[in-house]
Structure 1
Amino acid sequence: MKILGREPALILSFVAIVVKVVSAFAIEVNAEQQAWINAVAAAAVGLILAVMTHDAIGAAVLGFVQAVVALAVGFGLDWSADKQAVFMSLAAAVVAMFDRTQVTAPVPASAVKRPVTPVS
């Protein structure tokens, strides 16, 4: 999946957060529907990362945390959409920071074009 470049965990986590924010603020869904949307987004990100990295414990943990929170909300946990988004964003950031130190990028660093900065 070269389309994701060197930061697949970061990009996929961002996509999952966008899906959650849209389901929380932009479309009218009930708590159960939002719980299912969040659980599916979390599971998809975990699955994609696990396939891409062949060793994605962080993705599995993040998917588990997000799915548990989403399902708990669907079954009565009284957290607003704001609290859910903040908690899930925090979990995604913590795991992405861990993954960044553990995952080998599919594109070597030498292949990335860096801007040339002029010497003063």
Structure 2
Amino acid sequence: MKIFGREPALIIATVSAGLSLLVSFGFDDLSAEQAAAIVAVISAVFAAATAAITRPVAPSAFTGLAAAGFALLAAYGMDVSQETVGAVNAVVLAVLALVTRSQVTPSRPDAPAGV
């Protein structure tokens, strides 16, 4: 199964990183803690989607847990801005997506694209 001619795990991680950056840079009225909470939820939801369409599930689940954890640590463990939370999360997602991609395969590799 491919999405836009690419592996779904990479597409989902890219969309998740983009949404995380959008939340971090797009809303001036959010505090760093609020942005981190939203980014953590985005990371967890998109990791669950990746885990649902890839096998084995463990690498995808770990990726989401790590990304959400880093986002929360950046906001609640350190005194950083919401832009830094988004940037850190985007980098973490990019690195973990590249690591995860080599360890997972689509759950139904014979399924046609678009199904």
Q: Please report the TM-score for the alignment, with normalisation by the length of structure 2.
A: 0.74
Q: Residues of 1 paired with 2:75 and 2:100: CA distance?
A: 28
| Contact persistence 2:51–2:61 (CA under 8 A) | yes
Which of the pair has more CA radius of gyration? Answer: 1
Match of 1:24 in 2: 24
- 1:33 Cα offset (Å): 1.2
Give the letter for the 2:80 counterpart: W
1:1-120 mapped onto 2 (5 Å cutoff): 3=3, 6-28=6-28, 29-105=30-106, 106-107=108-109
Distance 1:82 1:34, change over 3 A: closer
Q: Residues of 1 paired with 2:105 and 2:76: CA distance?
A: 38
- 1:94 Cα offset (Å): 2.3
- 1:6 Cα offset (Å): 4.2
Distance 1:12 1:81, change over 3 A: same
Q: Residues of 1 paired with 2:79 and 2:51: CA distance?
A: 31
Distance 1:90 1:74, change over 3 A: closer
> 1:56-93 CA deviation, whole Å, 9 max, x = no partner?
32222221122112222342512334433343233222
Distance 1:33 1:4, change over 3 A: farther
Task: Count matched residues.
Answer: 110
Q: Please report the TM-score for the alignment, with normalisation by the length of structure 1.
A: 0.72
Distance 1:99 1:68, change over 3 A: closer
Distance 1:69 1:22, change over 3 A: same
Q: Residues of 2 paired with 1:25 and 1:70: CA distance?
A: 14
Give the letter for the 2:25 counterpart: F
Query: Structure 1 stretches of 5 or more lacking a match?
Result: 113-120
Give the letter for the 2:40 counterpart: A
Q: Residues of 2 paired with 1:73 and 1:100: CA distance?
A: 25
| Contact persistence 1:58–1:95 (CA under 8 A) | no
Please give the secondary structure, in 2, of the residue aligned with 1:102. Answer: coil
